[in-house]
Amino acid sequence: MVYSEKVIDHYQHPRNVGSLDKSSSEVGTGVVGAPECGDVMKLQIQVEDGVIVDAKFKTFGCGSAIASSSLATEWLKGRTIEEAQQIRNVDIVEELALPPVKIHCSVLAEDAIRSALEDWRKKQSQPNA
């Protein structure tokens, strides 16, 4: 697979690798994919006053899956929940110049964002969380 320089850069220098405290009420966690499909992404956001102040990821997957999730965390930081909701997989495809066979990696990253936002929202609706 011949990747764009941006994919290689994210692969070699992934941004925001790590984990946030998943039990915190400020943290939303999304885990998407499956080991037998060859990719699993865990994406976490920390939200304060409606703004994403931190984002972390861990990914099992190919180079473009790692790059897609790394890019997603970069984009999420500093955005409001509403702005984060607007991130689309096609934006990731464009930014990383992903080849057609790797588009599913960007879809997975979008799923991970949505899943993390959903988890955070759920926590906000639980009064004792």
Partner 1 sequence: MNESRRVYFDHQATCPVDPRVLEAMLPFFRETFGNAASRSHSYGWDAERATDQARESIGAAIGASGREIVFTSGATESNNLAILGAARMYRDKGKHLITCGTEHKAVLDPMKFLEHEGWEVTVLDVDGLGRIDLDALRAAIRPDTTLVSLMHANNEIGTLHPIAKIGAICKEKGVLFHTDATQSVGKVPVDVEAMGVDLLSASAHKIYGPKGVGMLYVRRRAPRVRLDPIMHGGGHERGLRSGTLNVPGIVGFARALELCLAERDSDSARVGALRDRLQRRFEEALTHVHVNGDQENRLAANLNISFEFVEGESLLMGMEGIAVSSGSACTSASLEPSYVLRALGVGDELAHSSVRFSLGRASTEDEVDYVAARTIAAVTRLREMSPLYEMALEGIDLKTVQWTGH
- The residues annotated with a catalytic role in the active site are 37, 105
- 107-111 LR contacts (CB < 8 Å, sep 24+): 108/32, 108/33, 108/39, 108/41, 108/61, 108/65, 108/68, 108/69, 109/41, 109/43, 109/65, 109/68, 109/69, 109/71, 109/72, 110/72, 111/30, 111/32, 111/41
Closer to partner 1 by Cβ: residue 35 or 127: 35
**Does 98 interact with partner 1 (rule: CB under 8 A)?**
no
Closest distance to partner 1 from the beta carbon of 50 (Å) = 27
Residue 42 interacts with partner 1 (CB under 8 A): yes or no:
yes
Q: Which is nearer to partner 1, 38 or 78 (CB)?
A: 38
Binding of partner 1 by 63 (CB under 8 A): yes
Interaction of residue 97 with partner 1, rule CB under 8 A:
no
